[in-house]
Chain A
Amino acid sequence: MDDWRENQELLVMEGRIKVPYRWFAGEVGTRYFESLRDERKFLGTKCGKCGKVHHVPRRNCPDCFAECSEWVELGSSGTLETYTVVRRQHPQLAPLPLPYGYGIIRLDGADTGFLHLLHEFEEGGLATGMRVEAVFAEEREGKILDVRYFRPAKGVS
């Protein structure tokens, strides 16, 4: 079957899949994102068994598998647990101009860290363990980018 190949360009078909979805935030996600949007407040959920305060909030403690029965209001500042400085990114995916930071932040009052963006820092100005604070968007829609990013804390911590 190879005899035709010599002067033939191999055929490639370009395509793009664009499918509309409707993702449901669920009961916990709805309350959480409403609070972020309407009150600029971060909420965690507390496991009824081990007492761990989860943020990302979850309905069930993934370890105990017990219900997280209580909402806990968290601070909008926290500690940077680990981070990176992103220098290359798919242009359609980059949420901030390059380079930007990306880190795991443990908010005050939470027992777990969550992922968010870092911005407004000097070159080399990020460090594990540093205090960071949330910068909220003026227009908020009930999504994680209602917090535009975290930056090194300016206030007294």
Chain B
Amino acid sequence: MGKRVAITGVGMTKQRSSRPDVNGQELINEAARMALEDAGLTRSDIDAVVIGNMDHFEGINYVDTWSVDGSGALMKPIMKVTTGGTTGTTVAMAAYYHVASGLFDRVLAIGWEKNSESDTTGAIITAFDPFWDRPIFAGAVAGLALEATQYMHLTGATEEDAAYVAVRERKHALNNPYAHLHMNLTIEDVMKSPYLSWPVKMGDMCPRTDGACAVVFVSEDAAQDSPQKPAWVLGVADRHLWAYTSDPYANQAIENGWWFPAMEWSARELYDKVGITDPLEQIDVAELYLPYSFAGLRYMESLGFCGRGEGPALVRSGAFDMGGKCPVNPSGGVMSSNAIGATGLIRVAECAWQIQGRAGDRQVPDVKIALATGFGGCFWSDILLFGAEKPEKSRG
């Protein structure tokens, strides 16, 4: 059986459209220093570093070595993890695995991106198959729009339903000093914003952001010395279903009963392990990787908060607003900040802050269980649960 693992330190840069005042290593360093200080540790206490970003956004491969000045990984074990949009959550999972293995007591997880250094769509094309996808590539927005059209077709959901999510996320961000976008929008504002790729509008989409995040994972033994209340990892799960852009549809097998199989399988596996039978009742707060507004409808169904097609009504009931049954993205989420390699890890960091009661104006009262997800590259799904109470055992 593995060691039980807790988060005891968090560092995060303020997420900005561009950080021309720092290079990548310096950006990483801001988050790494803050996380170490938060955990009451120094560089020498750290046994290993896990770092992640997407190489093509900065045009620098081999980031694990290039970043050691910033990460503090000089002469330490370091692993780089790159899994597209899920990079930040996969970094967290890899750090968790390191510590749960019993081989490392204190691991620093870092996710970062300087999206201002390249053209995001121009760079992201290098993640796609050169024969099948690249010659006709229409960008990340169009890829998501295929899902939005399908969801509307199957459920009768409307663009206004999605706009509700976009407005909610931006409203929540007003409480978060780390968020990139601070916009007080109305549904009408979102509906009037220009179409990027029908039915997805400018107001439905995440921004591109410069930012870094760092999180300290420690073993149950090391957690005893932590100055912060430990935020325990209850368990993690992930599924991937993509080789070509059309695969999420080819593999969806709706007729076999799966809606968004990668997310449903990972959620079911993790809920079974941890004992979640009614997510809406049992989960106190969720930081979800919602890259665009329609995700905030469909994913609620795939995460088991409600049945198929019931997402829009539950969303509009306010269940996921601040003060609702399970507030989603008190931070403002991905639609308010998206430094891609950092984004998933920020979900994890926000969950830790919520459990520790350190989330400032965006704090949800009395958080016992928090859910984080990562989504990306494409239709991959990472799911992590965190708790205020030390779990009986670690669960992979």
Contacts and interface: CB of A to CB of B under 8 A. Distances in A.
Centre residue among A29, A92, A114, A117 by max chain B CB count within 10 A: A114
Given A25-B131, A113-B249, A113-B250, A12 B20 contact: yes
A93 B113 CA distance: 23
B146 A23 contact: no
Contact of A93 (B59, B130, B139, B148): B139
Nearest to A145: B135
Contact of B142 (A56, A86, A92): A86
B30 to A, nearest CB: 14
Nearest to A25: B131
A27 to B, nearest CB: 13
Interface string A54-78: 1010100011000000000000000
Contacts of A29: 131
B244 interface: yes
Contacts, number: 119
Given A56-B246, A90-B139, A81 B132 contact: no
Interface in B121-161: 121-122, 125, 130-133, 135-139, 141-142, 145-150, 153
A85 interface: yes
A17 B7 CA distance: 39
Nearest to B141: A88
A143 B134 CA distance: 11
B249 A82 contact: yes
A154 interface: no
A120 to B, nearest CB: 16
> What DSSP secondary structure best describes chain B's contact surface?
mixed
Contacts of B141: 88
A124 to B, nearest CB: 10
Nearest to B242: A62
A16 B228 CA distance: 45
A82 B147 contact: yes
Interface residues of A, number: 41
A51 interface: no
B132 A103 contact: no
A84 B135 contact: no
B251 interface: yes
Interface stretch (B38-46, B168-176, B194-202, B329-337): B194-202
A84 B21 CA distance: 39
Given A82-B153, A87-B196, A93-B122, A144 B246 contact: no
B136 A116 contact: yes
B197 A87 contact: yes
A62 B135 CA distance: 23
B244 A114 contact: yes
A95 B197 contact: no
A104 interface: yes
Given A12-B20, A83-B146, A89 B250 contact: no
A82 B244 contact: no
Contacts of B226: none
B196 A81 contact: no
Contact of A15 (B59, B146, B150, B249): B59
A15 B21 CA distance: 18
Interface string B232-270: 000000000001111101110000000000000000000
A10 B246 contact: no
23 contacts: A15-B59, A23-B131, A56-B250, A63-B251, A82-B146, A82-B153, A84-B145, A86-B139, A86-B145, A87-B197, A88-B194, A88-B196, A90-B119, A92-B122, A93-B138, A95-B135, A104-B246, A113-B250, A114-B246, A114-B250, A115-B245, A116-B136, A144-B136
Interface of A: 10, 12, 15, 17, 21, 23, 25, 29, 33, 54, 56, 58, 62-63, 81-90, 92-95, 102-104, 112-117, 128, 143-145
The 8 closest A-B pairs by CB, nearest first: A84-B145, A112-B250, A82-B150, A85-B198, A128-B153, A115-B246, A23-B130, A84-B197
Interface of B: 20-21, 59, 119, 121-122, 125, 130-133, 135-139, 141-142, 145-150, 153, 194-200, 243-247, 249-251
